Amino acid sequence: MNRDQKAAVIEEVAVQITDAEAVYAVDYRGTSVPQAAQLRSQLRDADARFRVVKNTLTERAADQAGAAGLKEYLAGPTALVFVRGDAAAAAKTLSDFRRTSGLLAFKGGWMGGDVLSAEQVDAIARLPSREILYGRLVGMVASPLTGLAGALGGLIGGLARQLQQMAEQGLVGGDGPAPAAEAAPAPAAETPPAEDGGSEDEPAADPDAGPATTSPDAPGPHPDPASPNEETQEAQ
């Protein structure tokens, strides 16, 4: 491996350390190639990658990524597991492989800018998966809401029963006796409308009054009425 190839590996490992949610260092001594291939396939489900790199190159990558605390685990045959998904699921996969094969001892790790001991990696492996934790969190949030809904349902049911009892006793609704209405004053008699279109304000004629006075504009008697004889003579 020439200098350029080494620089490329260092850069790639540094990026993997920076982008990872967690990095686990394990001792891979005794692990066969088929076993390593099987482990890589299982870790892929947790969005994790199993990789073996020379310790000297990994140390330089750790310095470049700001994870110098990881260098203390880079002694002897060391493989790194870069976890980008569920850190607990990846640690559990490594723990299950170790339990069935007797290989792959934890050395330590790196998570969130802090160094992890082998015991801490073991503790992470015993944690529930992210899906289970999400389910528990949803249950914890939903539990008070369920209790509140039950309490509101009981309150509404009790109120409905009380209203039903009041209705049966005639205290609500239209079944009970209606309260006596207060006597209202009788409406005043309406003045009948005047006949022949007359106005209600027009005064009625006084029977004791004399004959109506002729209007000054009415025509009077002829000033020189002819006698009956003169009318007869003119006719002849």
Cross-strand bridge partners of residue 105: 27
What is the pTM (predicted TM-score) of this model? 0.57
Decide if 67 contacts 110 (C-beta within 8 A).
yes
Q: What SS3 state is found at 147?
A: helix
- 3-127 CATH fold: Alpha-Beta Plaits (3.30.70)
The tokens describing 192, both together, are 């009948």
pLDDT tens digits, one per residue of 135-182: 655 655 555 655 556 666 666 666 666 666 766 776 655 544 444 444
pLDDT tens digits, one per residue of 93-127: 999 999 999 999 999 999 999 999 999 999 999 98
Q: For residue 61, what are the contacts with CB-CB under 8 A and spacing of at least 6?
A: 9, 10, 11, 12, 13, 14, 17, 53
Which residue type is seen at 178?
Answer: A
Contacts 24+ apart (CB under 8 A), 225-232: none
Gyration radius of the chain's alpha carbons = 56
pLDDT at 73 over 80: yes
Half-sphere exposure of 64 (CA within 13 A, CB side): 18
